[in-house]
Structure 1
Amino acid sequence: MGDKTPLHAGHFVSQNILLIQNDLVDATAVRDALVNSMGGPFEVEWVRSCADGKERLKDDAKNMNRIAAVLVDLVLPDSSGIEMFDELFLQAPQIPILVLCDSQNEEIGKLAVQNGAQDYLLKSRLDTYLLPKAVGNMIERAANVEALFEEKERAEVTLNSIGDAVMSSDVWGNVTYLNAVAEVLTGWPCEEARSHPLEEVFRIVDADTRETVPNPMKLAIAQNKTVALTPNCILIRRDGVELSIEDSAAPIHDRRGTVTGAVMVFHDVTTARALSLRMAYLAQHDSLTDLPNRILLADRLKQAIAMALRGDRQLALLFLDMDRFKHINDSLGHAIGDRLLQSVAHRLRASVRSSDTISRQGGDEFVILLSDIAHPEDAETSAEKILGALSTPHAIDQHNLHVTGSIGIATYPDDGVDADTLLRHADLAMYRAKENGRNNVQFYKAEMNAHAVERHSVEDGLRKALEHNEFELCYQPKINLVTGAMIGVEALIRWRHPKRGLVHPAQFIPIAEECGLIVEIGRWVLREACRQARAWQDAGLPATRLAINISPVELRAKDFVAGVRAILADTGLDPRCLEFEVTETFLMEPSGATAEVLQALKEMGLQIALDDFGTGYSSLSFLRRFPIDTVKIDRSFVRDMTTDADDASIVRAVIGMGESLHLQVVAEGVETREQLAFLRRHSCPAGQGLHLGRPVVAAEFAEILGRSVARVANA
């Protein structure tokens, strides 16, 4: 990594981040946290000095402002402190800046926020969870501010082009704005009228009694409500001309609900007033689902906490994340994805009380605020009701979309007494729900913080494992149960961690799938296994079909088929010697791309096996629709088939189905003599398990292949 070095995050459209940081270690840590985050993708460009940073921002201004955010260390070789920040801010005030500082410089970080920075972060607290969240939120805030600014500009143009007069004041009753029509009607230019008392600029009297009428804007501020002008009033213009008017005044609030002034529309108030209300509404609601956004949720959550504190009550926060929504969005298109989110929002509204708040946080994340509950169990009941509502297929165009959700629950006051803590803890609980298989509900527990740290440790370790070649493959034979001959081999990944020792795949594969590393790991497995299989053949050992487990995440990758073709070409392995094992979950995904991928692999000459058959929801129609060659009976049925009549029936049924459909059937997890005897008795063609052959490293498996050659020669 060097000066002005672009660091890419995959092949998706990225948010461009400019990192101004002199220290290589800190720059690398920031880069890794952003580039490898699930919240991205981000593309990081790194420069080392303030001068280079200003030059890059100057170039960016000439190229249509492609930088989404700036991360800057307060200490640089050529400049430091608040003066350095001010120089950068002046160069590009429209770009959000996140200041990175040490604890001893925290006060300067706070000062930078006062001077225009979006936020600051202590370098000691940077991690793959906090930093991407902070950067993503910063970019979103900046986009919201820009949208509001543009909305304000459009509003001002609109207000000056409509035929109604519009006037506003501050909370003390001083004029702050007049549009062009109001200038004509009052006789006051806006600049001259600004800061003058309302009574001086807007003189109104009763047409009959000539008595002064209370100013409706002051009434609106005092009463905190919309006030209409008393009928039969006239406006005395600055030059003494009297005009008959009708108006309506309304208070203006900040995002905390505090009255900051008032706005009044003369004559026909419909258009201008609707525009003003629409501006306030858009600032607090999600444009796609019409649900409250994170800004309005934060306000309501703070109010709910205050009320719960006063009334000694409880409240709950439910953090909902849609399971595998990204795949639906990618495979069926954003238009379908947007309509699915609207359908989800509709069902959420129907699942909770009108007094509760449903918020869309962005993407496929929703937060539900249950503002008054008697017991934590009430929150669980609501969460289960939500999952039940979501489980019914969503009919969109010609698609019946099956979606589920993972929900984390945090309650006040047990799990936090402030809004940020409750949100963070509900988020952690949601991730635990995903790790527990998705489509379930989890309450926050204190140990989840430690679990999150452990998860980060594993994720970081996986990246290092790829760099340091810590993965290895073992090979387990598949046996013909009639002849006892070996008919294939499955490659199984193992992680030999330098400190933890041998790590089982169940401990790291789910995390690799969540963070996206499974694609790179899977590519390594495929290349290494194909290389090894070809090496055995080159050594004169018999060719045997090589089976590899493929994650649904890998299969969804746009370049997966091309990558397989390239690896086979590089290693020289005949595609007919390769078999991919896929899960039922992948077959059930609502996209024609599933069949296309499998068909492309079949056309290359590969075999397709359906792994863990019987644990999902696939049917015979799935087996007929997709080019499946083999079904593997899940080990959970094989384990208990000699003692459980139901499992025995399932195993017999799968064997019979395979024979009828001309599919190879392989029983997984054969670990006892009794299990083997049962399978042979019921004519199961093939098996795999510790009783038939344990997984061994490549060198040992080569010896097994060699012995099989010797047996054939001596037969």
Structure 2
Amino acid sequence: MNDATTVLLIEDDPADAKLIQEALTDMEDGRFHVELVTCLADALRRLNEERVEVILLDMTLPDSQGIEAFDQVAQATPDSLILVLSGAGSEETARQAVQRGAHEHLAKAHLDAHWLPRTLRCVIERENARNALRNSEERFRTICDASPLGIFVSDAQDSCVYTNAAYGEISGLTHEQALGTNWSSAIHPEDRQRVLDEWRAAPTGHASIHAEVRFLRSDESIVWTRLNVAPMLDRTSSRGHVQTVENITARKTAEFQLRIAEDALFEEKERAQVTLNSIGDAVLCTDLLCKVTYMNPVAEVMTGWGYEEALGRPLTEVFQIISGTTRQAADNPAQRAINEDKTAGLPMDCVLVRRDGIESPIEDSTAPIHDRDGRVVGAVIVFQDVSASRSMAQKMFHLAQHDCLTGLPNRVLLTERLSQAIGRANRYGKQAALLFLDIDYFKHINDSLGHAVGDKLLQAVGARLAACVRATDTVCRQGGDEFVILLSEIERPQDVAYVAETLRTKLAVPHVIGEHELHVTLSIGISVYPDDGSDVDVLMQNADTAMYHAKADGRNSYQFFTADMNSLAVQRLFVESSLRRALKQNEFVLHYQPKINLDSGFMTGAEALIRWHDPDLGLISPAQFVPVAEECGLIVPIGRWVMREACRQIQAWLDAGLHVVPVAVNISALEFRREDFLEDIALILKETGVAPRYLELELTESILMQDAESSAAVLVAIKAMGMRLAIDDFGTGYSSLSYLKRFPIDALKIDQSFVREITTNADDATIVNAVIGMGKNLKQKIIAEGVETAEQLALLQTQKCDEGQGFLFSPPLVADDFAKLLTTNFSRRQESSNTYTL
């Protein structure tokens, strides 16, 4: 079928609107696409945007009443089909609208799902037929007026009903003068009798006449013409005659002129035949006995019958139609059209059985054929193969319910299946569960490796998820990197926990996408029906909320929804909005914590640590807002601000003549994976004027190992720019020694969780010692974080740790206080003092 017809429904009554929408959109062929507006203003705006084929107009609207509504719509879209809807008491207004040009009047009380679509189809087909007829008449007049031959058309009484311009030039008669005259009146009296004798000699006037005659014009001038008079036959009776007149006065010979006319006529005939053969639909005609009288080439192909073979055969033999559902023979549409004298059609599921047995679904329209007296003389069937359109409709239906990238169900289908699962759970006393899944740090992969790799990863994740659940469950791609799994029937919540663990285990196996080996983890939120919600929207929202809590708890985990999470979700939104305000109003500040050489006691560097100075809450530590910033993407502009502010402050200290130590800045995963990360750093260094040797970048193992190959390339570029690199929180993440050896790292920072228990936990002491040894072998500096006691310091010195950072030496300081520390450090270096008290 062709594309769906757009129907603009202008109706403010919800019940009527729903009835009409359901009647038109529930059709299996998808013939109509309904758009609803409830007031005239909205309708006029919609019509101003794009033409609409069909308009259903209720003239009782909130912002317009009566015939005025129709007038405005008709003025806005004169080419659309307008059908007015009337209720009780508005029939007269509807009749006025029809008188003013409305194409149909429909009573609301008589609308239903059966008649409304059929009525619309009939109106559309009727209007198409009218347009075709008007176009045909216009083409006929245009062709005739452009013809060099004079044309004189007479009715059955031989009175003129039409002449073209050429005839007027030849005969000297205007169109008005010629109307009503006899076809022979313009012929010279000396030739007229000869032509009339030949005319009368023809049997019942049906034979054509060809003669060379003179025309006598009103100014007494004579024009020699080649006259052809032919009857217009309707089977056995004549409907009049067509006279063509050729001016041969200026021609050298009548024979030459006749050949030109014959060639022109032949060309016209050929064009007409080509046009008929190129019609895309199959056309088949019958007589009153439903015997075949005509087939076009398309009908021959579709039925398997040649025209000559089919001629005179019963329609049911040539046009074999069966029901696609029952496989029984369908009713003869031609017989029904003839008997009822109206357009008929086949049921929607009919199949045409070709002569060789091949079947194809078809759609048809059958209409009665009338003679000039209005009597039915046969029927014409116009039909087409709809295999492709029905296949496309099925594909479109599938696409409407499935994700185009992964092929998984989308939210539309998930919502439908979740509603069904809730119904079954109610009937059988079961439970249903939703698992809302988000791929951790997926945006980093997209930003660093491109969307092509990201798309392939989504496909691989979707396939792996689908393999982990039952056939009765549903894996849906929600959008982006979010998936939702519906467990349609569970006995207890523990079943969901088992599935979540399975998903985490299966997803822990690296995904090989091209040349990249990608490690993927999931944050999973779980809601269970009926405990966590009684409808689809609530269950989805609560699973989403639980997923955010899984992310907040460090990712790569799952969380069941609890009532407390709603208040925490509200709090998270508040923090997010406050962070946006803080960025705009410059509420962030940097504190600087020194790094100390454990052998000399001198300060060798510092770490820039962000703090948020909220005007109401005061100073807020990063642990309270950085996770939210990472989730909502604000960590990128915040990280850019930290780097710029640190560089600005370094240059300010240098300009003040201080002996500055390198300052480390923490880099988030989102920042590191951005395509313009290196360009941003270069721009900040250029704008602030800071030499790269004063800047150190700290990244975690997890960030670097998400795509080790890509990370290595970026790290090499950073080193080439002259900056130092350190791995922060070393030992808490996953890393590969082979890659660690390849990374151009200057320092490893032992996570404070190991340092905290170094004097009381033998395992932690062993880990620290191992990291120090590994760093020494790799020629990397080792920095211990979170040094708070003299005992910790002593043990680190014993194990030959290079540097330390923590409250034992100094808490993070504001810029002015840190400047004093820089001065003190320089003085002590001058004095070569070896003390750890700052």
Matched, 1:691 2:808: yes
Q: Secondary structure at the match of 1:632?
A: strand
* Alignment-derived partner of residue 602 in structure 1: 719
* 1:346 match: 463
SS at match of 1:351: coil
Matched, 1:92 2:49: yes
CA 1:402/1:228 → structure 2, altered by over 3 Å: closer, same or farther? farther
| Whole-Å separation in 2 of the counterparts to 1:397 and 1:228 | 51
Structure 1 residues 326 and 523: CA distance shift in structure 2, 3 A: closer
Task: After TM superposition, give the deviation of residue 404 of structure 1 in Å.
Answer: 1.7
- The residue correspondences of 1:183-198 to structure 2 (distance < 5 A) are 184=283
Q: Which residue of 2 aligns with 1:402?
A: 519
1:409 Cα deviation (Å)? 1.1
1:407-428 superposed Cα distances (whole Å, 9 cap, x missing partner): 1111111111111111111111
Change (3 A) 1:449 1:383: same
What corresponds to 2:648 in structure 1? 531
Corresponding residue for 1:230?
328
Instruction: Answer whether contact 1:358 1:367 (CA < 8 A) is retained.
Output: yes
Cα gap change, 1:473 to 1:384, in 2 (>3 Å): same
Q: Give the drift of 1:366.
A: 1.6
**Residue number in structure 2 paired with 1:484:** 601
Give SS of 1:433's match.
helix
Aligned pairs for 1:663-702 (under 5 A) are 663-702=780-819
**Hey, what does 1:278 align to over in structure 2?**
395
User: Separation in 1 of the partners of 2:486 and 2:454?
Assistant: 24
For the 8 Å contact 1:408–1:442, the answer to whether it is kept is yes
Per chain length, whose mean CA-contact separation is higher, i.e. which structure has more relative contact order (CA < 8 Å, sep 6+)? 1
CA distance in 2 between counterparts of 1:82 and 1:240 reads: 44
Q: Is the 8 A contact 1:340 1:394 kept in 2?
A: yes
Query: Does the 8 Å CA contact 1:248/1:269 hold for their aligned counterparts?
Result: no
Is residue 486 of structure 2 the alignment partner of residue 369 of structure 1?
Answer: yes
Q: Are 2:776 and 1:659 equivalent residues in the alignment? A: yes
Cα–Cα, structure 1 residues 353 and 500, in superposed 2: closer, same or farther, change >3 Å?
same
> What's the CA shift for 1:633?
0.6
Is contact 2:754-2:767 (8 Å) kept? yes
Q: What is the match of residue 298 of structure 2? A: none
Q: TM-score if structure 1 supplies the norm length?
A: 0.67
Partner of 1:498: 615
Confirm or deny: 8 A CA contact 1:187 1:239 kept in the other structure.
no
* Overall identity of the aligned pairs, in %: 52
Which amino acid in 2 is paired with 1:480?
N
Q: Is the contact between residue 185 and residue 237 of structure 1 (CA under 8 Å) also seen in structure 2? A: no
Aligned equivalent of 1:314: 431
Which of 569, 590, 593 aligns to 1:452? It is: 569
Contact conserved, 2:441 with 2:669, CA < 8 A, in 1?
no
Q: Give distance in 1, aligned partners of 2:806 and 2:39.
A: 65
Change (3 A) 1:236 1:713: closer
Structure 1 segments, 4+ long, off by >3 Å, are 81-95, 169-188, 231-241, 247-251, 262-276, 712-715
The 8 Å contact of residues 750 and 783 in structure 2, kept in 1 or not, is answered as yes
Are 2:715 and 1:612 aligned? Answer: no
Alpha-carbon deviation of 1:572? 2.3
Contact 1:187–1:238 (Cα < 8 Å) also in 2 = no
Residue aligning to 1:545: 662
Give the Å deviation of 1:398.
2.8
Larger mean CA deviation between 610-619 and 390-399 belongs to: 390-399
Superposed displacement of residue 553, structure 1: 1.3
TM-aligned CA deviation for residue 660 of structure 1: 1.3
Cα-to-partner distance string for 1:140-170 (whole Å, 9 max, x where unaligned): xxxxxxxxxxxxxxxxxxxxxxxxxxxxx96
The 1-side partners of 2:783 and 2:452 are apart by 42
- 1:450-469 Cα shifts (integer Å, max 9, x gaps): 11111111111111112222
SS state at 2:782 partner: strand
Distance 1:238 1:85, change over 3 A: closer
Q: How far apart are the structure 2 equivalents of 1:239 and 1:612?
A: 84
Amino acid aligned to 1:447: D
Give secondary structure in 1 for the equivalent of 2:467: helix
Shift of 1:563: 2.1
Flag the 1:573–1:276 CA change in 2: closer, same or farther, 3 A.
Answer: closer
Structure 1 residue 519: deviation in Å? 1.8
Aligned AA (1:537): L
**2:538 paired residue number:** 421
1:272-307 residue CA offsets vs partner (Å, 9 max, x unmatched)? 543443332222222222222221222222222222
Partners in 2 of 1:463 and 1:471 — Cα distance?
Answer: 11
* 2:627 aligned partner, one-letter code: P
- Looking at structure 1, the residues matched to 42 and 329 of structure 2 have their Cα atoms a distance apart, in angstroms, of 56
Q: Which moved more, 1:565-574 or 1:454-463?
A: 565-574
Deviations 1:557-591 (A, max 9, x none): 22222222222222222211111111111211226
CA shift for structure 1 position 234 = 6.2
* Letter matched to residue 457 of structure 2: L
Letter in 1 for 2:327: L
The code of the aligned residue for 2:754 comes to F
Unmatched segments (≥5 aa) in structure 2 = 1-37, 53-61, 63-68, 70-111, 126-278, 288-312, 340-345, 351-360, 365-382, 833-838
Report SS of the residue matched to 1:652: helix
- Over 3 Å counting, the alpha-carbon distance change for 1:714 and 1:361 in structure 2 is closer
Q: Output the amino acid matched with 1:436.
A: D
Q: CA deviation at 1:631?
A: 0.6
Evaluate the alpha carbon distance shift between residue 288 and residue 562 of structure 1 in structure 2; reply closer, same or farther with a 3 A threshold.
closer
Hey, what's the Cα distance between the residues in 2 that align with 1:296 and 1:588?
Answer: 36
Q: What are the Cα deviations for residues 365-421 of structure 1, in whole angstroms up to 9, with x where unaligned? A: 221111111112212222222222222222333333221221111111111111111
Deviations 1:57-76, CA, capped at 9 Å, x for gaps:
xxxxxxxxxxxxxxxxxxxx
Q: Distance in 1 between matches of 2:656 and 2:385?
A: 91
CA deviation after TM superposition for structure 1 residue 485, in Å: 1.0
How far the C-alpha of 1:546 sits from its partner, in A, is 1.1
Pair 1:442 & 2:543 matched: no
Equivalent-residue separation in structure 2 for 1:482 and 1:314 (angstroms) = 64
Closer/same/farther in 2, CA of residues 409 and 544 from structure 1, 3 Å limit = same
2:762 maps to 645
Structure 1 pair 690–316 and aligned structure 2 pair: CA distance change class (3 A): same
Which residue in 1 is equivalent to 2:90? none
In 2, the alpha carbon distance for the partners of 1:686 and 1:466 equals 34
The offset of 1:666, in angstroms, is 0.5
Alpha-carbon distance in 2 for matches of 1:634, 1:358:
39
- Structure 1 unpaired stretches of 5+: 1-80, 96-107, 109-114, 116-168, 189-206, 218-225, 242-246, 252-261
- Structure 1 residues 185 and 557: CA distance shift in structure 2, 3 A: same
Q: Kindly indicate whether residue 411 of structure 2 is the aligned counterpart of residue 294 of structure 1.
A: yes
* Alpha-carbon distance in structure 1 between the residues aligned to 2:520 and 2:286: 62
Which residue is equivalent to 1:32?
A: none
Deviations 1:241-300 (A, max 9, x none): 9xxxxx99659xxxxxxxxxx997999886554344333222222222222222122222
Paired amino acid for 2:650: A
Task: Note the aligned Cα RMSD (angstroms).
Answer: 3.5
**Structure 2 contact 411–476 (Cα < 8 Å) conserved:** yes
Moved more, 390-399 or 508-517: 390-399
**Are the structure 2 counterparts of residues 172 and 181 from structure 1 closer, same or farther at C-alpha, using a change threshold of 3 Å?**
farther
Compared CA separation, residues 338 and 704, structure 1 to 2 (3 A): closer
Contact 1:186 1:237 in 2 (8 A): no
Assess, with a 3 A threshold, how the Cα gap between structure 1 residues 301 and 488 changes in structure 2: closer, same or farther: same
**Partners in 2 of 1:365 and 1:408 — Cα distance?**
11
Amino acid paired to 1:284: Q
Alignment-derived partner of residue 548 in structure 2 = 431
